[in-house]
A and B are shown apart, each in its own frame.
Chain A
């Protein structure tokens, strides 16, 4: 039972490069989320999806794009990496929005933009 799997775990990007952070879950959850975590700042919502084919912006969507072609996968795309995007990125999923079991989080991707 893998839960939420994120790849890669670490990545260093140069300014202007692009990359995709992968997220996949095997729990058949409809709801998926991308958060970024900056030191001392908690987690901020980037994008979320309520099901395949449906995505919406969160609190800090600028500089990112997402897609949700399947229930299992919710990749996050950075097109032109900037130093301000240096952060730890977490993907999460839940079966229903206010699930008693909360969100299941992946173990994160630590991204550094230099």
Chain B
């Protein structure tokens, strides 16, 4: 099946720092999405990408769909305490009806 490698596994940063995480896949993806999960809740969509090379922002978050269609990154600028959580990349290589493949997540911890 499809494999997604997400790194880093965890990040310990100071408030105000920028954050960068990425995902690579073993196959070409047509869709890349980035989700955030907080304790006791389901994942919530942050950014969706549908075209190779696409760069999309959502406030302090920026994500890009890699040109090769096998990778994506998420950047968070000027981190704040409420950014704490687990960030997941997800994607699909087909039409999407058969569900998304998820990365293992990046656990973001912010020290004030």
Q: Provide the residues of chain A in CB contact with B45, threshold 8 Å.
A: 101-103
Given A98-B30, A100-B48, is A40 in contact with B105 using a C-beta cutoff of 8 Å?
A: yes
Chain A residues lying within 8 Å of B30, measured Cβ to Cβ, are: 98
Q: How far is the CB of B11 from chain A (nearest CB, A)?
A: 15
The answer to the question of A92 belonging to the interface, with a C-beta cut-off of 8 Å to chain B, is yes
Q: Are A42 and B40 touching (Cβ within 8 A)?
A: no
- Contact present for A56 and B98 (CB under 8 Å): yes
B31 within 8 A of A: yes
Quick one: given A43-B102, A98-B96, are A92 and B42 in contact (CB under 8 Å)? yes
Chain B contact residues (Cβ within 8 angstroms of A): what range? 20 to 34
Would you give the shortest CB distance from A35 to chain B, in whole angstroms? 8
Q: B residues 32-72 with Cβ under 8 Å of A? A: 33, 35, 40-45, 48, 50
* A87 → chain B closest CB, angstroms: 14
Q: Among A41, A50, A106, point to the contact of B97 (Cβ < 8 A).
A: A50
Q: A33 and B104: CB pair below 8 A?
A: no
Q: Do residues B88 and A102 form an inter-chain contact, with CB atoms below 8 A?
A: no
A106 touches B42 (CB 8 A): yes
A97 x B95 contact (CB < 8 A): yes
B92 beta carbon closer than 8 Å to chain A: yes
Contacts of B112 in A (CB 8 A): none
Chain B residues with CB under 8 A of A48? 97-99
B97 nearest CB neighbor, chain A only: A97
A-B contact pairs, 10 of them (CB 8 A): A42-B88, A45-B98, A45-B99, A45-B101, A58-B99, A90-B42, A98-B31, A98-B50, A101-B45, A107-B42
Having A45-B101, A105-B42, one finds 12 other A-B pairs with CB under 8 Å, namely A4-B42, A31-B97, A40-B104, A42-B102, A43-B43, A50-B97, A90-B42, A96-B96, A98-B50, A101-B45, A103-B100, A107-B41
Residues of chain A whose beta carbon lies under 8 Å from any beta carbon of chain B = 4, 31, 33, 35, 40-45, 48, 50, 56, 58-59, 90, 92, 96-98, 100-103, 105-108
